Amino acid sequence: MEAIPATPFTRREQILEETLGLIRRVRVRSNSANDGPEGHFGLNSIHHAALHFTMRNPGAIQRDLADFLGVQPGHVSEVVDALERQGLITRVLDPADRRIHRLEATLRAHEFHQRIHELSGESVHPLFRRWTDSEIEALYALLKRLAEEDDVPSAPGASHVVHRAARVAISEGSAGAND
């Protein structure tokens, strides 16, 4: 059997590959305290990101949320539907243009989100216990820059991943189960 020659990587390519691997490892470690594969209380990371965005951007429309998640607007419908079924967000008709529905977080969402952050703080903050504020700020700035790169196409199937993740069942009433 003939050996497959190793693909030569430049130093830059090697560092980038290792960096992405480290990001995946940190994500796994930061999610290790979650209540199973769907996250806290059955809310997966896509739902949590959508809820967090809606809370920080009251009155946003689904297109805004899609831009934030980096997917096509049609792919966030199931995410919004699931959060709405749980009573975490509502769609409100825009009085200036009744064709537009604005996303608003409910009181339940604010209570729920506070509880999630209390729990996730227990698993995330220890990762940074030895970091200085300036190191955390530098990491934030670099990750923000990476996340905001607008000339990089989405990975193949990225919209499909959001679409599929939105189907993950959020069990009825689970949002308040542990509150």
Residue ranges and CATH numbers for the domains of the chain are 38-148+158-170 (1.10.10.10)
Please state whether the predicted TM-score (pTM) of the whole model is above 0.85. Answer: no
Q: What are phi and psi of 24, to 5 degrees?
A: -60, -45
Would you state the structure tokens that stand for residue 60, as one six-digit string?
Answer: 């946003």
Residues in the chain: 179
Q: Which residue has the higher pLDDT, 162 or 86?
A: 86
At 6, the pLDDT band (50, 70, 90 cuts) reads low
d(CA 76, CA 50): 9
With a cut of 60, say whether residue 34 has pLDDT above it.
Answer: no
d(CA 115, CA 88): 13
Confidence at residue 7, expressed as pLDDT on a 0 to 100 scale:
65
DSSP conformational letter for 151: S
31: Cβ contacts below 8 Å, ≥ 6 apart: 39, 45, 123
Q: Which residue has the higher pLDDT, 40 or 8?
A: 8
Confidence at residue 161, expressed as pLDDT on a 0 to 100 scale:
43
Q: What are phi and psi of 43, to 5 degrees?
A: -95, 115
Q: Please give the C-alpha separations between residue 39 and each of 4, 28, 139, in angstroms, as whole numbers.
A: 40, 11, 24
With a cut of 90, say whether residue 60 has pLDDT above it.
Answer: yes
What does the pLDDT look like over 16-31, one tens digit per residue?
888 888 887 777 666 5
With a cut of 70, say whether residue 35 has pLDDT above it.
Answer: no
Q: Determine the average pLDDT of the residues in 132-159.
A: 75
Instruction: Outline where DSSP puts E strands in 51-172.
Output: 89-94, 97-105
- The mean pLDDT of the chain is 75
Would you state the structure tokens that stand for residue 20, as one six-digit string?
Answer: 């992405």
d(CA 46, CA 73): 14
With a cut of 70, say whether residue 146 has pLDDT above it.
Answer: yes
